[in-house]
Structure 1
């Protein structure tokens, strides 16, 4: 089984997404928990929202206009199976999901 980083992309920052009524926040969290329950043991790390992006080069560090709003880590037999785990994900109501396979380094 391979591990996959799940990146949640949105035009609205995670900070802006969190700015909602308590009732809206609870309803949204229930949707996320329902998805997590459906995925079960394949969800290795629920993850968290992301913010304050920086682009780092050898010359400087600057603010970065990233659309990455959060992440999770899942495990699946292959990339197609990992992508299938995203079926019905609540994040798809406001953005896209990118699934990236992690690659084991030889000898590590």
Structure 2
């Protein structure tokens, strides 16, 4: 079955807005979102090949050297589904976009087999 990289994205301004909330407001969002995230993973466990993880600030390497960079990527996982559309449908109710300030989830097919 085809494998897909699912990349969680978040706009910098949405992350900043979340971090500017009070600790109690952030904790309330976490208290709602974390159990929903766990439930989403349990419900879709048959499709998840690698739970991936969340990521922090970007360092970019180019021909010109190494420097801090910015992109909307905040995490990833690897799923298996019959089609890209089927993989995308898995994420329609994901807490990253329904509870947390996530911007979206980008779904990309692997064109080479990932080493899992």
TM-score normalised by L of structure 1? 0.81
Query: Per-residue deviation at 1:27?
Result: 2.7
CA distance in 1, matches of 2:66, 2:93: 37
Count of residue pairs the alignment pairs up:
102
Q: Which residue does the alignment assign to 1:78?
A: 83
Q: Structure 2 matches for 1:19-38, cutoff 5 A?
A: 20-21=26-27, 24-38=29-43
Q: Which residue does the alignment assign to 1:9?
A: 9
Q: Which residue does the alignment assign to 2:62?
A: 57
Cα RMSD of the aligned pairs, angstroms, is 2.3
Match of 2:106 among 92, 98, 107: 98
Runs of 4+, deviation exceeding 2 Å: 23-27
Q: Which residue does the alignment assign to 2:52?
A: 47
Q: Is the 8 A contact 2:58 2:71 kept in 1?
A: yes
Unmatched 5+ residue regions in structure 1?
Answer: none
